[in-house]
């Protein structure tokens, strides 16, 4: 069969031929009716909660902070932000915060793609800097000990609205909701303390109940004073499948229900070769593309091969991970060493957490990693534990030859929440598209 994988922010596709007898399955997200963009704008404009919130700020001619997620998310900010600005009118002092957490400022073409040229040139647009301490105000401490320092412009506003999108997340269970505050507009120390919780066994994709990292995020958002969110559930083609508006936590949970229906599925068995492309904007850099590795890990056999196809036009965007992997290899650190380094804050928490969670792959090599990319150097790929390739066909052919196994393909692996069910069970997804081939 010929398989086409989204590549380079879905602006291109790469093709690979896999013999039919070597295809274990193809997993794709579910489908739902796409909302008309004009209908979405009307839903935002007429939402009673938003109208009341913005109306109260108008009455006292106060300040409104609108937090927008960054270039690593497909949220239709450039379409929705003008609606909120129009609702606020001239009576409100609006500040637009680009909630990029610790991400780097992207090139201008990406900012225009995300925000639109008019917003990008708006003097009210503020690029959040997580490393500039004087730009933050302390709001309190969560029950998990995370200090809540947030951007001063948001902290001093009369109301705060976040615009984001909801997808499955290995770190926070799902994206969206209060993540627009933590890590979105938080100080680095707050972000790192929250990310330290990634080492907890309670943290994982699709987990909300008992997920202390997500609970910490939600509490921080409320402490910070986030009043409302406009959260989207997006299709892999950037179509809008749902919009959820209202109070941060309860609104987020309503959106999660739709997201789970569309993106959660399971397969009958693990595969020797798992071929993944992140999909959407998720192969922008290797930080985002790593999400696909977590997905592949859950359904790849020990001794198997994970083939990651990711353009990464911005490169790695994670020098801390590269440096830490060098340290792990040179000092021959074991998982206990890494755990102690994360807890003692001797390594950037998310980088340490990634290596801790993927130690069996990145260090022990129990599953091999192949990387097909135009923009990641071979040296960098090898430092991070990948065998580099430039051609996807070559990588897949070698993986099949090495394992003598079949290929499970997941073209939107940074979005799909794919699991192997417990022994003796087979869970069939009702809204996700899963093609399973019988054993020969």
Task: Check residue 421 and give its pLDDT.
Answer: 55
Q: Which top CATH class is 2-31+264-436?
A: alpha beta
User: Is residue 437 pLDDT above 70, yes or no?
Assistant: no
Do the bridges between strand 63-69 and strand 136-141 make them parallel or antiparallel, or are there none, so unpaired?
A: unpaired
Nearest residue to 221 (alpha-carbon basis) of 132, 148, 275, 294 = 148
CA–CA distance from 394 to each of 120, 297, 399 (Å)? 42, 21, 9
Q: What is the mean pLDDT of the chain?
A: 93
The DSSP symbol for 279 reads -
User: Is residue 439 pLDDT above 50, yes or no?
Assistant: no
Q: Tens of pLDDT along 211-251?
A: 999 999 999 999 999 999 999 999 988 899 999 999 999 99
Q: Tens of pLDDT along 180-213?
A: 999 999 999 999 999 999 999 999 999 999 999 9
Q: Tens of pLDDT along 12-28?
A: 999 999 999 999 999 98
Task: Check residue 425 and give its pLDDT.
Answer: 41
Sign of CA dihedral 12, 373, 292, 286: negative
Task: Check residue 40 and give its pLDDT.
Answer: 96
User: Would you kindly state where each structural domain of the chain is located, as residue ranges?
Assistant: 2-31+264-436, 37-234
Q: Tens of pLDDT along 72-82?
A: 999 999 999 99
Q: What is the pTM of this model?
A: 0.93
Average pLDDT of 126-141?
A: 98
Task: Check residue 238 and give its pLDDT.
Answer: 83
Portion of the chain with pLDDT greater than 90, in percent:
91
User: Is residue 131 pLDDT above 60, yes or no?
Assistant: yes
Contact 165, 239 (CB under 8 A): no
Q: Which neighbouring-strand residues pair with 242?
A: 233
Nearest residue to 394 (alpha-carbon basis) of 14, 8, 12, 7 = 14
Q: What are phi and psi of 225, to 5 degrees?
A: 100, 25
Task: Check residue 422 and give its pLDDT.
Answer: 52
Task: Check residue 435 and give its pLDDT.
Answer: 42
Six-digit token pair at 332? 């021959």
Average pLDDT of 339-359?
A: 96
CA–CA distance from 400 to each of 388, 404, 411 (Å)? 16, 5, 18
Region for 177 from its dihedrals, namely left if φ exceeds 0, alpha if ψ lies in -120 to 50, beta otherwise: left
Average pLDDT of 43-71?
A: 97
Task: Check residue 429 and give its pLDDT.
Answer: 34
Q: Tens of pLDDT along 377-434?
A: 999 999 999 999 999 999 999 999 999 999 999 999 999 999 765 544 433 333 333 4
Q: Tens of pLDDT along 287-338?
A: 999 999 999 999 999 999 999 999 999 999 889 999 999 999 999 999 999 9
**Kind and range of the H or E element at 219?**
helix 212-224
Pick one of 3.40.50.970, 3.40.50.10490, 3.40.50.11440, 3.30.1200.10 as the CATH number of 37-234: 3.40.50.11440
**Kind and range of the H or E element at 152?**
helix 152-155
């Amino acid at each position: 069969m010929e398989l086409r994988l989204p590549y380079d922010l879905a602006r291109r596709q790469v093709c690979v031929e896999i013999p039919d007898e070597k295809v274990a399955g193809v997993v794709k997200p579910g489908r739902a009716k796409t909302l008309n963009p004009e209908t979405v704008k009307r839903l935002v404009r007429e939402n009673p909660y938003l109208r009341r919130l913005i109306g109260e700020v108008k009455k006292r001619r106060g300040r409104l902070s609108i937090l927008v997620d960054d270039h690593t998310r497909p949220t239709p900010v450039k379409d929705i932000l003008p609606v909120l600005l129009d609702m606020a009118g001239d009576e409100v002092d609006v500040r637009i915060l680009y909630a990029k957490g610790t991400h780097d400022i992207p090139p201008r073409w990406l900012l225009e793609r995300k925000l639109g040229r008019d917003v990008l040139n708006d003097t009210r647009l503020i690029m959040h800097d997580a490393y500039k301490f004087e730009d933050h105000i302390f709001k309190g401490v969560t029950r998990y000990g995370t200090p809540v320092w947030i951007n001063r412009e948001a902290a001093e506003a009369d109301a705060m609205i976040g615009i984001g999108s909801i997808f499955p997340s290995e770190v926070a269970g799902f994206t969206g909701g209060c993540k627009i505050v933590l890590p979105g507009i938080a100080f680095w120390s707050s972000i790192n303390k929250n990310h330290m919780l990634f080492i907890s066994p309670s943290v994982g994709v699709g987990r909300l109940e008992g997920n202390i990292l997500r609970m910490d995020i939600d509490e921080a958002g409320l402490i910070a004073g986030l009043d409302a969110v406009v959260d989207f559930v997006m299709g892999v083609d950037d179509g809008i499948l749902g919009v959820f508006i209202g109070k941060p936590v309860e609104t987020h949970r309503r959106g999660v229900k739709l997201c789970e229906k569309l993106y959660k599925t399971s397969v009958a068995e693990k595969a020797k070769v798992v071929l993944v492309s992140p999909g959407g904007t998720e192969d922008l850099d290797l930080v985002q593309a790593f999400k696909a590795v977590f997905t592949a890990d859950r359904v790849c056999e020990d001794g198997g091969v994970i083939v990651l196809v990711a353009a990464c036009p911005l490169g790695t965007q994670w020098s801390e991970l590269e440096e830490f992997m060098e340290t792990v290899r040179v000092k021959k650190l074991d998982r206990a060493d890494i755990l102690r380094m994360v807890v003692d804050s001797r390594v950037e928490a998310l980088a340490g957490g990634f290596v801790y969670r993927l130690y069996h792959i990145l260090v022990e090599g129990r599953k091999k990693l192949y990387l097909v990319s135009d923009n990641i150097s071979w040296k960098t790929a090898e430092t991070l534990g990948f065998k580099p390739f430039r051609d996807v066909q070559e990588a897949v052919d070698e993986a099949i030859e090495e394992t003598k196994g079949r290929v499970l393909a997941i073209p939107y692996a940074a979005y799909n929440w794919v699991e192997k069910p417990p022994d003796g069970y087979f869970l069939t997804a009702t809204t996700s598209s899963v093609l399973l081939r019988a054993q020969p």
